[in-house]
Structure formats: structure tokens, C-alpha cells
A and B are shown apart, each in its own frame.
Chain A
Amino acid sequence: MHSTDWLQFALYLGILTLITKPMGLYLMQVLDADGRTWIDPVLKPVERLTYKLIGIDPKREQTWQQYTFAMLAFSLVGVVFTYAILRLQDVLPLNPQGLPALCHHLAFNTAVSFTTNTNWQSYGGESTMSYFSQMVGLTFHNFVSAAVGIGIAAALVRGIARSSVKTVGSFWTDLVRVTYYLLLPICLVFAIFLVSQGMIQNFDSYTKVKTLEGAEQVIAQGPMASQVAIKMLGTNGGGFMNANASHPFENPTPLSNFIQMLSIFSIGSGLTYYLGRMVKNQAHGWAVWAAMMVLFVGGVLVCAHFEAAGNPIHQQLGVAAADGNMEGKEVRFGIFNSSLFATITTAASCGAVNSMHDSFTSIGGLVPLFMIELGEVVIGGVGAGLYGMLVFVILAVFIAGLMVGRTPEYLGKKIQAREVKLCMLTLLVLTLSILGFTAWACVSDWGVAGLNNSGPHGLSEMLYAYSSATGNNGSAFAGLTANTPWYNTTLGIAMFIGRFLMIVPIMALAGSLAGKQAVPPSAGTFPVNGATFTVLLIGTVLLIGALNFLPALALGPIVEHFLTAQGRLF
């Protein structure tokens, strides 16, 4: 890494640290039905009108079952809403290119993908989606799936913070308040900033120009900035264009790239502060944050090291070794910002890419894959990252309890068989979905037919696809041709499993914790702040991630690394 790389990294980490507390404090207000913000004068009337129109009482809290049921009903309606728009694209407005309707399996895959905050894309945006589909069918979910995730995280934190109660908050109030007070105002400013950097925002038909050499070039257009702002802030990641954030319109300058990277982590980072505040143990919030940061910094350094070292096979042909691996990367971002972006987007469940992960070196590409397989708990998706990490926190506390032979407690709540079973359920379901579907694709004609690369890299393409879908990430080893009935359907199911079979046990956990009596800490209580706890948490995350996926990774990127050193080609 060059000195400017270190400087950029320090700048990124420094600014992220600085915004964590203000974001957390703001979240305290947003996630409280009686919270106050400085934009109340504008938004309060709109909020009240919204509750009236949808017919709910914002003060009426729900049990975990009611909260979960409302979330599932809302998600179901959302899937149908987007499926209908995509199937009717040809007759809906704002379609200057006259793009046809999507076929049923692609529409199913895409509707599930955006509802679950995954934004896996089996299609190329500019050649498939009308402006209406992008702006309404997809952007809608970019907002609400993010709001739902934050709501679930808040419900779990409330469950931890409260004692001897039945309710964990109101789904509808969380949904509306997060959308209005958190996501919309930031996106408005963010989108305008992106346009100032060169991002497009128009409804023109594609521009035809005659290049200097006299050829025709068709330049795709569209209302991009409004969608990209929420795509990044809401850790959705679905590109307006096929090339996502590597496209010069979708990420025009190094500055737009830097701010996009910050926006991916901003809310997730703030949520750890929110956790500390809510449970009245700020050191616990920071301890969780520190564990995330250690894993993150490690990932970035490994990825950047191998991308900067480049590909020995290509260097043998005469490519300058000092330039690193530039295949699939943009000059304006260079090696370091591509590696940093790749680690951020997979540590969070964003999935936007500013370089093609499929063309990374073996170990460089292993890092984003591994980040997803850890469960995207390193900051993670908005909301999803925190509730995913809290599962590991409870397991870490449980393991610590086993080691010292006492009943584990977490912030005054006894952790019993029911809580541990629910936590393990979420982890096992994800592992089963990732490895099960990958194994199925490996031995099926439809699975192998989609590959763009042969040898171990082919396995990595399939493993990455199901990891990304189950982890609700959405990035890809994008050479895989996934727009086939089998891939679209199985990936759609994997996304469904990854979202809802994760959320339901977590809500049950929230309900279970909320109903428990708080016991005062004693000499035998394992403290959940400080370095010991952070190290234990990191160990738990790594151990479970490594044990589950190491065999599969050994057959993919790891063996490929050694074959690259030998100059083996496929």
C-alpha cells in the first residue's frame, strides 16, 4: 500500500468514527414515536397525515408476533407490487427505449431481490429496466426494505433494553419514521451532491452521438441520482446500470466514491451507538463497534495487499508488476479504493460494486466472499448488521458462560436454552442455504451451464452467488449467467430464506428477551464491554464463519491461489 492509500484509509475510518455518535443520537429520536428532530416543523404534519391515511395509531405498540406479522404482510404486498410493475413494464409510462416486460422468473427474482434488501441483479439495468420500473418498482424497496431492517434491529434492541413487558415497538411507526426522518432527508442532499459530481438525473431517451472516429455511441440516461442515493445509504446496492458503481455516471469521481463508501456504513455504525444508548451501557456499544472494525480493517488490508501484488501470470506476459491487478477496475479509483469498496460493500450487505469482484485475484476475491459468509455482521446492512451481530454477541456470552460454568447473562437477562436455540437457528439456516444450493448447482447441468470461468473459479462463482443471495448482499462474481429459470428461482428462494428465516427467529428472540426479568449484575457476570469481550466476540464470529465455510473456500479461491502461483490456466 502507498502512503496515499494509508492516508485515505485513515480518513475513511476517522470520519466514520466521528459520525457514529451523532448518527446514533439522531437514531434515538427517529426510533422513538415521541422523538423530536429539527425537521419536525416540515415532516410532522406529513407523518400525521400518513398515519391517518394508512389507518394506524402510532402509539399502539405490538407484541413480537404482531410486529413480525405486519412485516411479513407488508413484504408480501411489496413483492406483488414490484412483480406487477415489472410484468407490465411495456404498457407503463416512462419507457422511452420501449423495453419489453420482464419474463416471469426474472420478475420473480427481481421482486424478491429488492424486497429483501438484496438487490441481486440477474439483468443489466440499462438494457432491461424502464425509468418507471427503476424509479417506482425498485426505488420503493430501496427505501422501505432499509426502513424495515432498521425497524427489526430497533425491535431487538428494545427487547434487550426492556424487561417484563410484552411489546417491542410498532412496525408501522418504525417504517414511517425511518423513511421520513432518516432516509429521505439524507438522500435528498446526497442525490444533489451526486449530480454535482457528474451523475445523471433526467428522463431523456438514450443519447446518440457520433464519436470522433465517426462511430455511433448510444449513451444510456435516466433518473439515476435519486435512486443511487438510497441504493447506497440503504445498503441495497442494486445498480441503475449493469456495471453498477464502476459506471462513470453511477460513480463519476473519486470524491463521489468516497462519500458513497461512507454512506454504506453510516447508519449501521450509528446503530451500534444506538444500542449502547438504549441499554444504558455505551461501552458495550463501542465494544461491538470495535469488534466490527477489527474484522473490517483486517479484510481491507488482506484484499488490498493481494490486489496490489497483482497476477503473476499476467506479469510474466509483460504487465508492469507495480500496477497491481487492474482487470475490472477503473483508473479513477485505482487498486486501493477498489479493494476498500469491495470490502465495505460485503461487510455491509450493500452489494454495490465499483470494480468486478469476479476478476479479483484469488485471495483478493476471497475477502468479499468471506465477509458475506461471516453473516455481514461487520457493520452490516442497515439494521441487518446489528441484529446479525447481536446473535453472535449472545453466542459469545453463552460460550463465556460455559467456560466459567455459570448461567450466561446478557445485560441483566439470563440467556437460556430458548435464546441459544433461536440464535443457532439463524446461523444454521443461512449455512444450509448457502452450501446446500451451491452443492446442488455444482452437480446440475443448469448450474454449470451458467459459468463464465472454469476450474476452481467456476465453483467460486456459484458459491459467491448463493452466499450473496442468502446473505442478502447482491454483489456477484458477475460472470455467472444467472438469468435462467433455475438460477432465478433458486436464488430467489435463497434470498427469501436469508431475509425471513433470519428475521422471524430474531423477532422471537426480541420477544423472549423483552419478557424476561432483569437481574442485577453480580461478581459472576461476564462484562460485555472492554477488550476481553471484543476479542471473544471476534473469535466467535471468525470461528463460526471459518468452520462452516472453510472446506468450500479451500476448493474455490484457496486452491486457485496456489494454482495461480504455478501458472495454471483453465
Chain B
Amino acid sequence: MNSILISLRATCVLAVVTCGVYPLIVTGIAQAAFKDKAHGSLTMDKDGIVRGSAVIGQNFTAAQYFHPRPSTAGAGYDAANSSGSNLGPTSQKLNDAIKDRIAAYRAENGLGDKEAIPADAVTASGSGLDPHISLKNAELQTVRVAKVRNLSVEKVKEMTVASIDPAGFGVLGGAGVNVLKLNLSLDALK
């Protein structure tokens, strides 16, 4: 019985410290030092309207935009319902989805039947909110975007390079093209 009473008191004291004092100190410092990031790195268009988060992917289907990876978060890029497909290596459903995505990707970008498709272009990410595509994926979409926007391929390539989030210290993880950042910068040209 004594142990239960001590446990009750210990729970109260430790809860105040770890669930009250600690998170409030973290919030205070975060708000003071990294206000923008603490609120989700919200990003604006050239008119100053918030159009998304710099670190969260969003859906693009129009030809003038670079397209993100397939997403299984909610109905696609639902940032209140993050999720992967969780389909395994022998899944018929995953196999069919990849087959369809490859056909669509080839058609959109005018690629031949023999051309290998970057894996990230036809597979869903773990979160369903991956903000990046691989450099190769971006390269294959460049001609399409340049054509629709009446821009030179070189210009679009240049902007793609400017939207790369590099690997950490050049070593950690992988570099990726931030799709929202790139599409925002393309829209800002007009």
C-alpha cells in the first residue's frame, strides 16, 4: 500500500517536470530561436500567400509542374494522415500500381518502352509526404515542363539545381529536388 502511495506522488511530481516544465522550456526556446521552423516551415508564393510547408510534399498533376512521388497518405499528400502503402514485395496490388505508374510516367514524359524508370517516380514514400524526388526523376521531367512553359531546357535545369536539398555535409543521406520549392520558383518567373 505504501508503494502505491509513493507511486502516486512520484507520478504527479515527475509528470509536472517531464510533461509540464520540460516541454514548455523547449517550446519557449524553439519559439524564440526558430519560430518559423517550430510552426512548420510554412512557405509563401510571390504574392505572400501561404501555399504549403517547405518540408512537406504536395500533389501536382498539371503538365507545367514537376510531379512528386506517388503518395498513399490519405487520398494523396494528406498532411493530416501520413502513411506508406505497407504493401510487401509479393503484393499483386503493388505490382499493378507500379505497372500503371510506369506507363503513365512514360506517356507524360515521352519516354520509350526500354527506358528504365527511377524507382522513386513509381513507388510511394514511407510518409506519403516526401517533399523530394531524385535528381534523375527531375531530369526526365525537365523537357516536358520546359515545353509547356515555353522555357529553355537549360533554364529549367538551372532552376532544378537551385532547388536541390543537398546530402548532409555532402555525405549523409541522399540529395533530392524539393518539388514544391522548384514549382514555386517556376511560377514566380511569370
Chain A interface residues (CB < 8 Å from chain B): 4, 7-8, 11, 46, 50, 53-56, 69-70, 73-74, 76-78, 81, 124, 126-127, 135-136, 139-140, 143-144, 172, 175-176, 179-180, 184, 187-188, 191-192, 195-204, 206-207, 209-213, 215, 217-221, 223, 225-227, 229-230, 241-243, 246-249, 252-255, 257-258, 310-311, 313-314, 317-321, 323-334, 337-338, 353-356, 358-362, 365, 452-457, 460, 477-479, 560, 563-564, 568-570
Contact = CB atoms under 8 A, between A and B. Distances in A.
A319 B126 contact: no
Contact of B10 (A172, A211, A212, A358): A172
A53 B6 CA distance: 9
Given A212-B45, A242-B83, A332-B174, A319 B117 contact: yes
B38 to A, nearest CB: 5
Closest 9 pairs (CB-CB, A-B): A254-B173, A479-B86, A246-B126, A323-B119, A334-B174, A243-B82, A243-B127, A254-B168, A356-B84
B90 A564 contact: yes
A7 B172 CA distance: 9
A200 B176 contact: no
B38 A195 contact: yes
B89 A218 contact: no
B58 A211 contact: yes
A452 B87 contact: yes
Contacts of B15: 81, 136, 140
Contacts of B79: 217-220
Given A356-B84, A479-B87, A223 B27 contact: yes
Contact of B172 (A201, A246, A337, A452): A337
A320 B10 contact: no
B104 to A, nearest CB: 12
A78 B14 CA distance: 11
Contacts of A127: 80-81
Nearest to B60: A213
B80 A77 contact: no
B85 A356 contact: yes
B172 A243 contact: no
A200 B40 contact: yes
27 contacts: A50-B17, A126-B81, A143-B14, A144-B18, A192-B26, A192-B34, A200-B38, A206-B80, A211-B51, A217-B77, A220-B79, A246-B127, A247-B129, A248-B57, A254-B174, A258-B168, A314-B95, A318-B102, A319-B98, A319-B102, A319-B123, A326-B125, A327-B85, A330-B130, A359-B84, A457-B89, A479-B86
Contacts of B109: none
Interface string B103-120: 000100000010111111
Nearest to A199: B37
Contacts of A180: 17
B88 A77 contact: no
B102 A317 contact: yes
A333 B174 contact: yes
B171 A11 contact: yes
Given A204-B39, A212-B187, A310-B119, A243 B52 contact: no
Contact of A217 (B52, B131, B165): B52
Contacts of A50: 13-14, 17
Interface stretch (B61-69, B144-152, B155-163): B61-69
Which one of A140, A455, A477 has the highest number of Cβ atoms from chain B below 10 Å of its Cβ? A140
Given A209-B51, A254-B167, A327-B123, A248 B129 contact: yes
Contact of A257 (B94, B126, B173, B176): B173
Interface in B10-37: 10-11, 13-15, 17-20, 22-23, 25-27, 29-31, 33-34, 37
Contacts of A479: 85-88
Given A212-B65, A319-B98, A198 B55 contact: yes
Contacts of B40: 200, 202, 204, 207, 219, 221, 249
A325 to B, nearest CB: 7
B62 to A, nearest CB: 6
Given A56-B6, A192-B34, A331-B132, 4 more contacts: A211-B58, A217-B78, A247-B129, A359-B126
A330 B123 contact: no
B7 A77 contact: yes
Nearest to A125: B82
B23 A135 contact: yes
Contacts of B11: 74, 77-78, 81, 140
Given A219-B40, A253-B168, A359-B85, A329 B80 contact: no
A198 to B, nearest CB: 5
A54 B10 contact: yes
B55 A226 contact: no
A255 B168 contact: yes
Contact of B92 (A248, A334, A570): A570
A124 B83 CA distance: 9
B6 A220 contact: no
A211 B78 CA distance: 11
Nearest to A255: B168
Given A8-B171, A136-B15, A246-B84, A330 B127 contact: yes
Contacts of B82: 124, 126, 220, 241-243, 246-247
Contacts of A453: 86-88, 90-91
A443 to B, nearest CB: 21
Given A175-B10, A356-B126, A317 B118 contact: no
A54 B13 contact: yes
Given A8-B171, A188-B22, A246-B126, A359 B88 contact: yes
Which one of B18, B83, B99 has the highest number of Cβ atoms from chain A below 10 Å of its Cβ? B18
Contacts of B187: 212
A415 B118 CA distance: 58
B134 interface: yes
Contacts of B14: 50, 140, 143-144, 175-176, 179
Contacts of A78: 7, 11
Contacts of A54: 6, 9-10, 13
Contacts of B106: 318
Contacts of A253: 165, 168, 173
B85 to A, nearest CB: 6
